[in-house]
Amino acid sequence: MTTTAPGQRQRGVQGGRAPLGPAKEGADFRLEPSPYGNKEKRAAWEARIAEGTKSLRDGVAMLLEWRAEHGDDAVTDQDDLWIEAKLEARVAVARFDEMTNDQVRNETLTDEKVADVCQAALRDAEDNADDPNRLEEIVAAFRNRYKPPIMPSSPFMRTETELAEIMMKARELDWYGETLEELRDSRGVVVLKAGKRKKGAS
């Protein structure tokens, strides 16, 4: 006979029988299409990706072309993020089918040595350490071209962090030297709605 402490419910017992297996945890798998995004656009790209990524070389070319054409898109565009993620997933899997583990760790998918790429980017940043605008271009170019799976995650993140530190140090030297309007103009910002400015603010 099974007993329970006062105020404690007995779990998983129905009709005196314990459940045959462990209780299910987590959410159910989604069986229907996602309600988010442009379904037609995504379906078209899913077919295009399946057709255009049958080899690692083709997949890398398609991913790099996408990044080059959409690198300046808003990061809130759900469809663009979805398409790039699908491309990245296909390429990430394909590299293990066509490359050795040693190649995956030490070579980029653009046929370059990881160490050489990282060193070149850092040298470029050091050579332009007094030019914040040029440093922004260097960091953006590195991110856009070598973001995983083009480069393994660990060296990419380490180098990106070092590049960002160089850029932030250069920015801090004269961060308040520009007015808000000048800062917006230099970055091509389009103001949709401006907030009320506090009295005395420049």
Q: CA of 86: how far to CAs of 7, 107, 147, in Å?
A: 51, 22, 14
Q: Which residues pair with 107 in a beta bridge?
A: 113
Tally of domains in the chain: 2
89 and 128 fall within a common domain? no
CA dihedral 138, 107, 110, 146 (to 10 degrees): -30
In a domain, 88, yes or no: yes
Q: What is the CATH number of the domain that holds 53?
A: 1.20.1280
Residue 2 within any structural domain of the chain: no
Contact call for residues 99 and 56 (beta carbons, < 8 A):
yes
In a domain, 91, yes or no: yes
Q: Are 86 and 41 in contact (CB under 8 A)?
A: no
- Name the strand (E) or helix (H) holding 116: helix 114-127
One domain for residues 44 and 86 = yes
Considering the domain architecture, whether residues 122 and 152 belong to the same structural domain is answered as yes
The answer to the question of residue 153 being in a domain is: yes
Q: What percent of the chain has pLDDT over 90?
A: 58
Query: Cα 119 to the chain's mean position, in Å?
Result: 22
pLDDT score of 30: 61
pLDDT value at position 182?
A: 82
Q: Could you give the percent of the chain with pLDDT greater than 70?
A: 78
What average pLDDT does this structure show over 192-200? 69
User: For residue 154, is it within any domain?
Assistant: yes
- 85 found inside a domain: yes
Average pLDDT along the chain: 84
Within this chain, do residues 124 and 81 fall inside the same structural domain, yes or no? Answer: no
List pLDDT tens digits, range 30-66.
666 566 788 999 999 999 999 999 999 999 999 999 9
Give the SS3 label for residue 36.
Answer: coil
One domain, residues 88 and 121:
no
Spatial distance between the Cα atoms of 138 and 132, rounded to a whole number of angstroms: 10
- What confidence score (pLDDT) does residue 199 get? 62
Judge whether 104 lies within some domain. Answer: no
User: Which string of b and e fits 100-119 if b means at least 16 CB within 10 Å?
Assistant: eeeebeebbbeeeebeebbe
Residue that is last in its domain, among 98, 123, 149: 98
Domain that holds residue 161: 114-172
Record the pTM.
0.70
Tokens 């997933």, residue located: 89
The one-character DSSP state at 74 is -
- Which letter does DSSP use for residue 113 in this model? B
DSSP-derived letter for residue 55 is S
48 vs 175, more confident:
48
Q: How far is CA 136 from CA 124, 125, 130, 163, in A?
A: 12, 9, 12, 9
Q: Domain for residue 7, yes or no?
A: no
Q: Please compute the mean of the pLDDT values over residues 111-129 and round it to a whole number.
A: 97
- pLDDT-derived band at 183, boundaries 50, 70, 90: confident
